[in-house]
Structures are given as structure tokens and as C-alpha cells.
């Protein structure tokens, strides 16, 4: 697909029609949606503002910050990063516009994002499945027990001990409330990931999809899901579109909008960012001119 010849207004018209015809909507989202909302992990300017010490060490974006940092630097990074993206009290206009777009349609959300931006901006928390975890939780690294704990207090304590000049946490590092061992943020990195908090929502989503009848018209709106973890968002959306007779897929992705050939007619690739599509979908149509005869 050539983005330069893409007709965004025509795509928006099709999506409005599909949304109006849908009985149910499944919103699926990857990192591209939060990037469009202002949380771009590749933003070098924002990285330098938040992490001057790490920038001086040669790091240039959040994508490049790995677990190889020394513990005091790693927890300093986590504290600032999570406070910025997970616990900011400010509403996010893009997510709120998406919530308004879906309105009162019967809908669910499935996202690989761990920033809770859906739940914080108008979407029902009990209808959001986050299989990759949540920055709002932490766990034992081992783990000694399959339990997670709220990270809000932990992040506040780390920020109080954070030195911006060095990028490090100066207080004792956090430990497991159960065994006293090392802890980590509850996001899916390896087999130690504790997924217990997310399984009930996954089962409810599975049941919701399972109650679709042969006549149910399901619209899948996929935003910013590329190939970092295609088995979490991208491939399941294609699978559902194939196996639910009256389903349709809208794939919104400025770099990887391609849809499978076998879904032609039921899948719409949209090679723009979510912000541009929502602009096109929410631009009000001009009111009729009363001086012009119909």
C-alpha cells in the first residue's frame, strides 16, 4: 500500500459505516496507540528531559533501556518512567476520543500496552484484557508466590530516593513482601511473569467472543500493533476475523498496515497513525445551508 495515495476520508467513511452496522466492537491495541497519544518510547527529546543521567551515558530512548542497567539505575529509570506513563493524573484526549467513538456499543478491549490508559480514560476496567501485564503491579522476581502488589506506593518511595543527577535510587532497593528477595515490575518479560491478575479478564473476553452467534456482526478496531509481539494482538485479530462469519477488521498502522489477502473485503488497512484517523472520524460535517434548496 502506498500511503501517499491513501484516501483517508474514504476510509473514515467506510469505518463509520462498519461501526454503525456492528453489533459488537473489539478494540485491540499495541504500542503505536500510546505513541500516537503522546507516549512514544522512541522520543529522544522526551527521553533526555526525563532521564538526563542516562542520556549522558549514551542512551537515547526508552526502547534502549534494558534490564542490564545496575539495579540502582534500573529502579531509578522504572520510577520515573512508570510515574510518567502509568500514574500521571492527566486525562488523555486521544483515548477519550476513542471511548466516545465506540460509545454505548457492546465492546471489549485487548491490549499489549501496560500503561492502563484505556481504564484511565473512559473504558470499563472489567472489560479490558492486558495479557502483557500492568506497570501498576510488581511481583517477586523468582516468584516465590503467584501474587502481585500495587506499585503506586513503591514508585512513590523510589521517587523520593531518586537522584536526577546520577539517575540512581539512593535508598535501599525494593524487596519482596513475602520472601524479601528481589522484585520486578509485573510485565511479561520471561517465564517468571505472574499472569494471575489478568486471567479472569481473559476468560471473560473468551466467553464474550464465544457467545457470538452466526449473525453477530463483530468489528475489530486494531491500533498500532506491529511485529514486536504479533502473537498477542495482530495474529489473534486476523484469526477472529477468519473464524467469525460476519466480522470485519480495521488495521490502523502507519508502518505495517498490511492485511491478509484472504480477508479482502472484510479487512481495511489504514496506513496512518491513530490520531490522524480519529481526526478524520470525528471532524463534524457542516450543517446544511438553509438558503440552499434541497
- 236-265 pLDDT, tens digit each: 999 999 999 899 999 999 999 999 999 999
Number of domains comprising the chain: 1
Task: Label residue 173 by pLDDT band (50, 70, 90).
Answer: very high
Residue 151 maps to a domain: yes
Task: Provide the domain limits for residue 21.
Answer: 3-280
Residue 219 maps to a domain: yes
Residue 294 maps to a domain: no
Q: Which own/partner contact pairs does 275-283 have at CB distance under 8 Å and 24+ positions apart? A: 275/36, 275/37, 275/94, 276/8, 277/8, 277/11, 277/12, 277/15, 277/252, 278/94, 278/97, 278/98, 278/101, 280/8, 280/9, 280/11, 280/12, 281/12, 281/15, 281/16, 281/101, 282/97, 282/100, 282/101
Residue 183 maps to a domain: yes
Mean pLDDT value of segment 59-70: 84
Task: Label residue 171 by pLDDT band (50, 70, 90).
Answer: confident
**CATH number, domain with residue 231:** 3.40.50.1220
Mean pLDDT value of segment 254-282: 96
Evaluate if residue 150 carries a pLDDT over 60. yes
Q: How far is residue 125's CA from residue 174's CA, in Å, rounded to a whole number?
A: 28
Mean pLDDT value of segment 199-218: 94
Residue 55 maps to a domain: yes
Q: Share the mean pLDDT of the chain.
A: 93
Q: pTM of the prediction?
A: 0.92
Evaluate if residue 2 carries a pLDDT over 80. no
Q: How far apart, in Å, do the first and last CA atoms of the chain sit?
A: 39
Reported as type and span, the H/E element at residue 149 is strand 148-150
- 67-91 pLDDT, tens digit each: 589 999 999 999 999 999 999 999 9
Residue 56 maps to a domain: yes
Residue 165 maps to a domain: yes
Mean pLDDT value of segment 209-215: 89
Residue 107 maps to a domain: yes
Amino acid at each position: 500500500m502506498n500511503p501517499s495515495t491513501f484516501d483517508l476520508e474514504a476510509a473514515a467513511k467506510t469505518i463509520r459505516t462498519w461501526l454503525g452496522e456492528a453489533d459488537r466492537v473489539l478494540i485491540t491495541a499495541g504500542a503505536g496507540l500510546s505513541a500516537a497519544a503522546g507516549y512514544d518510547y522512541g522520543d529522544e527529546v522526551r527521553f533526555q528531559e526525563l532521564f538526563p543521567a542516562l542520556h549522558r551515558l549514551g542512551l537515547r530512548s526508552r526502547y534502549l533501556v534494558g534490564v542490564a542497567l545496575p539495579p540502582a539505575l534500573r529502579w531509578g529509570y522504572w520510577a520515573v518512567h512508570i510515574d510518567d506513563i502509568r500514574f500521571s493524573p492527566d486525562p488523555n484526549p486521544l483515548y477519550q476520543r476513542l471511548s466516545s467513538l465506540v460509545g454505548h456499543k457492546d465492546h471489549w478491549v485487548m491490549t499489549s500496552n501496560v500503561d492502563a490508559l484505556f481504564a484511565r480514560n473512559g473504558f470499563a476496567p472489567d472489560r479490558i484484557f492486558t495479557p502483557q501485564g500492568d506497570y501498576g503491579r510488581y511481583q517477586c522476581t523468582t516468584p516465590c508466590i503467584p501474587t502481585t502488589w500495587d506499585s503506586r506506593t513503591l514508585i512513590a518511595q523510589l521517587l523520593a530516593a531518586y537522584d536526577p543527577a546520577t539517575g540512581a535510587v539512593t535508598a535501599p532497593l525494593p524487596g519482596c513482601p513475602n520472601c524479601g528477595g528481589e522484585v520486578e515490575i509485573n510485565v511479561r518479560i520471561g517465564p517468571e511473569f505472574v499472569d494471575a491478575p489478568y486471567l479472569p479478564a481473559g476468560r471473560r473476553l473468551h466467553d464474550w467472543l464465544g457467545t457470538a452467534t452466526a449473525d453477530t456482526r463483530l468489528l475489530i478496531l486494531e491500533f498500532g500493533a506491529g511485529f514486536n509481539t504479533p502473537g498477542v494482538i495482530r495474529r489473534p485479530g486476523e484469526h477472529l476475523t477468519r473464524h467469525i462469519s460476519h466480522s470485519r477488521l480495521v488495521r490502523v498502522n502507519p508502518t505495517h498496515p498490511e492485511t491478509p489477502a484472504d480477508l479482502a473485503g472484510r479487512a481495511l488497512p489504514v496506513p496512518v497513525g491513530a490520531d490522524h484517523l480519529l481526526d478524520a472520524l470525528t471532524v463534524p460535517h457542516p450543517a446544511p445551508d438553509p438558503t440552499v434548496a434541497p
